[in-house]
Amino acid sequence: MSRRIDIVEVGPRDGLQNDPANLTTSQKLEFIERLIECGVTRMESGSFVSPRAVPKMADSAEVFAGLNRSGAVRHIALALNEKGVRRAIDAKADEINFVLVAGEGFGQKNQGMSPQESADMLAQCAPLVHEAGIPLSATISVAFGDPYTGDIAKGVVGGLAAQAQRAGVGEVGIGDTIGVADPWLVEDRIEEIRLHAPDVFLRVHFHDTRNTGLANVAAAVKAGVDVVDASCGGIGGCPFAPAATGNVATEDVVYMLERAGFETGIELSKMIDTAKWLSGILGHDIPSSLVRAGMYDG
């Protein structure tokens, strides 16, 4: 099988934003450099959000200023509003990932917006990004369930994706922020977005809170999605989503995909070593299965 699945590494942003450890800017930059050495070519390297709300990302401008830009790596900055978008542009982000929200309760907690207000904010900010000549993507958070208001009604995610398409977004990520998705619901959401926004590329973002993360990745890949978010070591979580644990581990996703014959461009042994290094820097165990079990060469 020669099909390529691209991995977007989210460890430096989504992975670290809710971790109990406080990494220095230099440690974050070393983490990013190690990930690049593993073969990562696209990653969330920081976010331009309120430092009071997400203090772990308060040094994102310094992180972007310290990046080694000599390689062909796309460093993504996450933003929620116009102020964040302008800061990301000033930081010379290679891509801006704007967050839309599918759930009312989570939207108010996370960014002080309803789903429609988040789409309106994207429409307001998109011209700034386009004028700067920076690729614009969007992630629809809590696309499978809101921790405060429950299930997401059919059509909401598709409607947000359609508005993102009209705003000139080239790629839409479907985010399972609290880890409640199952493979069948994943297929339904993908079909819904393709119906409402047929011109956008799709990306998936799963948390393994209820042990369905890898199964959901497999379902998305089977449905034709070619871009998957993952976090080295399986670290991560959202400060505004109670009990939401880490992202699917990059090394676990790569192992599963490459065993099935897909190409990822990630050097698995180096990613496992990086996850082990990360565990030491964080000072606690990490969820990664490959870190516990190791590679299988049978």
Report the distance separating Cα 36 and Cα 26, nearest Å. 15
Beta bridge partners of 175: 205
- The three-point CA angle 14-222-211 to 5° equals 45
Q: Does residue 289 contact residue 274 with C-beta atoms inside 8 Å?
A: no
Residue 59 CB-density burial (10 A; 0-12 exposed, 13-18 middle, 19+ buried): middle
What residue type is assigned to position 297 of the chain?
D
Nearest to 10 by CA among 76, 104, 60: 76
Report the distance separating Cα 147 and Cα 106, nearest Å. 7
Cα torsion at 104, 116, 238, 84 (round to 10°)?
A: -140
Parallel, antiparallel or unpaired: strands 201-206 and 171-176: parallel
The catalytic residue positions are 238
